[in-house]
Structure 1
Amino acid sequence: MLDERMLWTAVTTRDPKWDGMFVYGVASTRIFCRPTCPSRRPRRAGVRFFATPESASEAGFRACRRCRPSDLASAEPAIARVRRACEIIARRSGRAVSLAALARQVGGSPYHLQRTFRTLLGVSPREYAETCRLGYLRAELRNGDGVSAAVYGAGYGSSSRVYEKSARTLGMTPATYARGGAGEHVHFVITPSPLGQMLVAATPRGVCRVKLGDDAAALERELRAEYPAAQVAPGDDRLSAWIARIVDFVKGESPDPRLPLDVRATAFQWRVWRELQKIPRGMTRSYAEIAARIGAPTAARAVARACAANPVALLIPCHRVVQTGGGLGGYHWGVERKRALLAGERGTLA
């Protein structure tokens, strides 16, 4: 979370530029408000700050009926400008737009747009545009018009720039992606674990999937569906050694496994996942805390979505992220597995 002195100043002055950036809860009434709420100002000692309305609700506060902090339809102009900027960027289908030009179209200064954009979404307008451009590139590659047409249609000045980033963003070269992974080699191993059946899959560059489930055959089918044109086959000794390290970690017999990864992700997802890898074993962080740590204090919901999109369970420990009020929150592989993981990690340290 940001400096509370700064937030309190925003409340006492009802500064409109902070509206949508945080909410505050009043302990005596158990109500949370926008910083611009016209109600009587509370005593500082009884105020708590939250990155999102959801965080305040999870902590047991109710939304104010006067300022309606949970009502997206009544969002302040700053939020509306960011939404408008996102629409402009998305419509350009990857074609570049300068920050100054974007600010002129939505109103306000480039500095404030950049700051508000990053605060709300966790990424800069440029990073958001890059994500949109990547999505456009993927769509064009799937259309089958050729790599060169897709690259230039997505607004890239040269194919070399795309190939430089392709391993991290597409998980393979553009040509391979256009063929549905054709020519890509994906090996996998499935083994029993304390959490049920565990599948670990890898390309020559690193681990690309870690899955948990009750049915080994179903896990294999899911993997093949994700790589429909790749050469998917049982793994080798290297992969067997990797999965053994992961199982030992689940059993509490070894530290967090640090294995090479080969996964596709947006810039924001990588920022979240890197922060998750910093959470010590036996500890947890809330979605709001992760958002604050990556410099996006109002992006708790986006953090939750990044956790849900994590393709390598355990290697990126999204199970260590919980709700602000102490609830476990969701987990792609089941809340019971999340509970077991956390209990096991705490027990190891006891």
Structure 2
Amino acid sequence: MTTNNAYTYGQIARAIEHLTANFREQPSLAELAEKVNMSEFHFQRLFTDWAGVSPKKFGQYLTLEHAKQQLRAGSSLTDVAYEAGLSGTGRLHDLFVSIEGVTPGQFKQAGAGLVLSYGIFDSPFGAYVLGAINKKIAVLHFLNDGEKAEELLPIAWPGAQIQHNPETLQSLADQAFPVTGTLNLPPDKPLALLLRGSTFQLKVWEALLKIPEGRLASYDQIAEAIGQPTASRAVGTAIGSNPVGYLIPCHRVIKKTGLFGGYRWGTERKQAMLGWEAARLNR
């Protein structure tokens, strides 16, 4: 595991937290740099290297009005994006992801008889634990302070045999977060996910895959997309239990008012992901 990205993300996250809380006052570069104990020059360079845009421009992607504009622009989301799937909808998510649910018997056994290999890796959004069964990603969990992979994995797959084996997962980690930021896999080589979930949860998680990178959807829009327009609360619960962070982009779902809402792996991380994707798309 490398730590450079994790450390950089920690610095950036603190700046984003301050920027988000005070965007109406438009914090100056000097103010943001002071919050992370850096010189203005070093902070500007670090932030721009990470996001691809200046802190000022990034702040524009985090405003409430921008979120509302995205939702309004997504009026065709249900009609177009959910029909189109992932093809051509974003740079990183040109990566083709396929979902496979476990059988009812495997679901009941909670992974008994299966081996869940795991490792801890680095990403633009901090360290994460990656777990896979037979080369299919079963867990991608961003690590918050104090969390340990050894304690998290049995919760997700209580019956599986847990093995620390990062070497066998390096190729999957490289596909999940390519070093270059862009990856085009041939159609016959999808990045496969193996998920334990109810039929309803799987439908919600599949719908999330169809939200284009840099775009947003509301809980209501997801409920409509899966044919259950009155189930927005249940949709929110299913999104909150998503076991594969980022690749199943639950961070792209916000409240219909434009507010970002909560996130399983921290509000600052969600804001970082949304701003990072918007910056990449609008560069």
- The two structures have a TM-score, normalised by structure 1, of 0.47
CA deviation after TM superposition for structure 1 residue 229, in Å: 4.7
Deviation per CA, 1:136-173, whole angstroms, max 9, x where unpaired?
xxxxxxxxxxxxxxxxxxxxxxxxxxxxx982445x27
Q: Paired residue for 1:310?
A: 242
Q: Paired residue for 2:141?
A: 211
Question: Judging changes above 3 Å, is the alpha-carbon distance between structure 1 residues 195 and 220 closer, same or farther for their aligned structure 2 residues?
Answer: farther
The question of 1:232 aligning with 2:162 is answered yes
Q: Paired residue for 1:185?
A: 115
Map 1:259-278 → 2, pairs under 5 A: 259-278=191-210
CA contact (8 A) 1:285 1:320 kept: yes
1:332 aligns with one of 248, 264, 268: 264
- CA distance in structure 1 between the partners assigned to 2:212 and 2:181 by the alignment: 14
CA contact (8 A) 1:189 1:243 kept: no
- CA distance in structure 1 between the partners assigned to 2:244 and 2:253 by the alignment: 15
Question: Judging changes above 3 Å, is the alpha-carbon distance between structure 1 residues 189 and 332 closer, same or farther for their aligned structure 2 residues?
Answer: same
Question: Judging changes above 3 Å, is the alpha-carbon distance between structure 1 residues 184 and 342 closer, same or farther for their aligned structure 2 residues?
Answer: same
**What is the root-mean-square deviation in Å for CA atoms of aligned residues?**
2.8
Question: Judging changes above 3 Å, is the alpha-carbon distance between structure 1 residues 233 and 284 closer, same or farther for their aligned structure 2 residues?
Answer: same
CA contact (8 A) 2:118 2:169 kept: yes
SS at match of 1:260: strand
CA deviation after TM superposition for structure 1 residue 211, in Å: 0.2
Question: Judging changes above 3 Å, is the alpha-carbon distance between structure 1 residues 300 and 205 closer, same or farther for their aligned structure 2 residues?
Answer: same
CA deviation after TM superposition for structure 1 residue 347, in Å: 0.9
Q: Paired residue for 1:243?
A: 173
SS at match of 2:210: coil
Map 1:20-35 → 2, pairs under 5 A: none
- CA distance in structure 1 between the partners assigned to 2:216 and 2:174 by the alignment: 25
SS at match of 2:272: helix
SS at match of 2:222: helix
- CA distance in structure 2 between the partners assigned to 1:297 and 1:215 by the alignment: 37
The question of 1:167 aligning with 2:102 is answered yes
Amino acid aligned to 2:161: Q
Q: Paired residue for 2:228?
A: 296
CA deviation after TM superposition for structure 1 residue 255, in Å: 6.5
CA deviation after TM superposition for structure 1 residue 226, in Å: 3.9
CA contact (8 A) 2:101 2:195 kept: no
Amino acid aligned to 1:189: G
Question: Judging changes above 3 Å, is the alpha-carbon distance between structure 1 residues 253 and 166 closer, same or farther for their aligned structure 2 residues?
Answer: closer
Amino acid aligned to 1:167: V
SS at match of 2:139: strand
Map 1:111-122 → 2, pairs under 5 A: none
- CA distance in structure 2 between the partners assigned to 1:298 and 1:254 by the alignment: 37
Task: Give the count of matched residue pairs.
Answer: 181
- CA distance in structure 2 between the partners assigned to 1:182 and 1:209 by the alignment: 16
Percentage identity across aligned positions? 35
CA contact (8 A) 1:190 1:216 kept: no
- The two structures have a TM-score, normalised by structure 2, of 0.57
CA contact (8 A) 1:258 1:315 kept: no
- CA distance in structure 1 between the partners assigned to 2:257 and 2:235 by the alignment: 16
Work out which of the two has the higher radius of gyration on C-alpha atoms and give 1 or 2. Answer: 1
Question: Judging changes above 3 Å, is the alpha-carbon distance between structure 1 residues 234 and 337 closer, same or farther for their aligned structure 2 residues?
Answer: same
Deviation per CA, 1:18-75, whole angstroms, max 9, x where unpaired?
xxxxxxxxxxxxxxxxxxxxxxxxxxxxxxxxxxxxxxxxx9xxxxxxxxxxxxxxxx
CA contact (8 A) 2:107 2:196 kept: no
Amino acid aligned to 1:245: Q
The question of 1:285 aligning with 2:236 is answered no
Higher mean C-alpha displacement, 220-229 vs 251-260: 251-260
- CA distance in structure 1 between the partners assigned to 2:201 and 2:107 by the alignment: 20
Map 1:60-79 → 2, pairs under 5 A: none
- CA distance in structure 2 between the partners assigned to 1:245 and 1:236 by the alignment: 14
CA deviation after TM superposition for structure 1 residue 258, in Å: 4.8
CA deviation after TM superposition for structure 1 residue 343, in Å: 0.6
CA contact (8 A) 1:282 1:349 kept: yes
Amino acid aligned to 2:129: L
CA deviation after TM superposition for structure 1 residue 275, in Å: 1.1
CA contact (8 A) 1:208 1:263 kept: yes
> Structure 1 regions of 5+ residues with no counterpart?
1-58, 60-164
- CA distance in structure 1 between the partners assigned to 2:258 and 2:184 by the alignment: 25
The question of 1:346 aligning with 2:278 is answered yes
